[in-house]
Amino acid sequence: MANAGDNSRFGCSGRMFSASEIALIREVVATCCGLSRKELANTISELVGWTRANGSLKEPECLVLLGRMEAAGLLTLPRKQQTRPVGSVTSIPHTAEGEPVVPLSGRVEAFAPLSIEGVTDAGGRQRFRELVGRYHALGYKVPFGAHLEYLVSITQPVPTVVGCLQFSSAAWRIEVRDQWIGWDDATRAHHLPQVVNNSRFLLVPWIHIKNLASATLARVLRRLPADWQAQYGVTPLLVETFVDAAHYTGACYRAANWVELGETSGRGRDDRQHRRHGAQPKRVLVYPLRRDARAQLRGER
């Protein structure tokens, strides 16, 4: 990443911006002072052609880029539009639909078939947000960049929502993953959109159905490639996830044939300056969606 004294190059989210693009970005920010940060991000993404495979603009990534350029002294952004007090926590709804019900236990076959539905409407988004916010250890956060969300239901004895899954953009650099694939920096930058992160997986705490977790993972991974392709114009080849070994074993992933590669450094996905090295290491597990996934990710096929 460039600093204030080096305007020749500036990198963000796998893309390196040229001196002419940096000059254009600075000019747009300086001359379009009436635009909000979001409007600037969309305008700049369109001008420099920073889009996903389906043509949608990379607004979230561009907002990160603009923030980093401001921190480097390259530009001054308009003030953020405050919709709530600084430092306030995103509110999580508490409704009757999110309250615990009679516990269920048994084998997954007794509750089959499972239903996994994409979250596409306001009601589904509220249900997902409430369940993850109330019952997932990491809580609910607005996902960064590309993402898909699903609600998991059993159909017997009556249709009942029992969990949530979220898939989002892959981590930029994971040493054990990159070594396992055989990536150098240039190849990773080119093929990273074909890796997807399972960033949330929740089964609500009053459900104790044997093999439900591994069956859910197996079922959702069969539909994920087509869903991601339809939404973002990219067919993923590999799914990754991080398991906090201090609290979870990751047994359901291994039961669903995921491969454990080792541990993260603990820096976090956005810590590129190595300021949090070793803070919270996680186990890294991956699931190839094709037999030749590694070869394709190396650009060999």
Instruction: For tokens 């300056």, name the residue.
Output: 273
Own/partner pairs, 262-269, CB within 8 angstroms, 24+ separation: 262/176, 263/176, 264/174, 264/175, 264/176, 265/175, 269/171, 269/172
pLDDT of the chain, 301 residues: tens digit per residue: 444 445 557 788 778 888 888 888 988 888 777 778 888 888 888 888 898 887 888 888 898 899 888 888 888 888 876 655 444 456 787 889 899 999 999 999 999 999 999 999 999 999 999 999 999 988 998 776 788 999 999 999 999 999 999 999 888 889 999 999 999 988 988 888 899 999 999 999 999 999 999 999 999 999 999 999 998 888 999 999 999 888 788 899 999 999 999 998 765 544 444 444 446 789 999 999 999 999 999 998 6
Look at residue 90 in the predicted model and tell me its pLDDT: 61
Domains and CATH numbers, the chain: 9-71 (no CATH), 105-297 (3.40.630.30)
Cα–Cα distance between 286 and 247 in angstroms, integer? 19
The whole-model pTM stands at 0.75
Separation of alpha carbons 102 and 106, rounded Å: 13
Question: DSSP string covering 169-225, please?
Answer: EPPS--HHHHHHHT--HHHHHHHGGGEEEEEEEEE-TTEEEETHHHHHHHHHHHHHH
Q: Residue 14's pLDDT is what?
A: 77
What pLDDT, on a 0 to 100 scale, did the predictor assign at position 268? 54
The pLDDT of residue 124 is 93
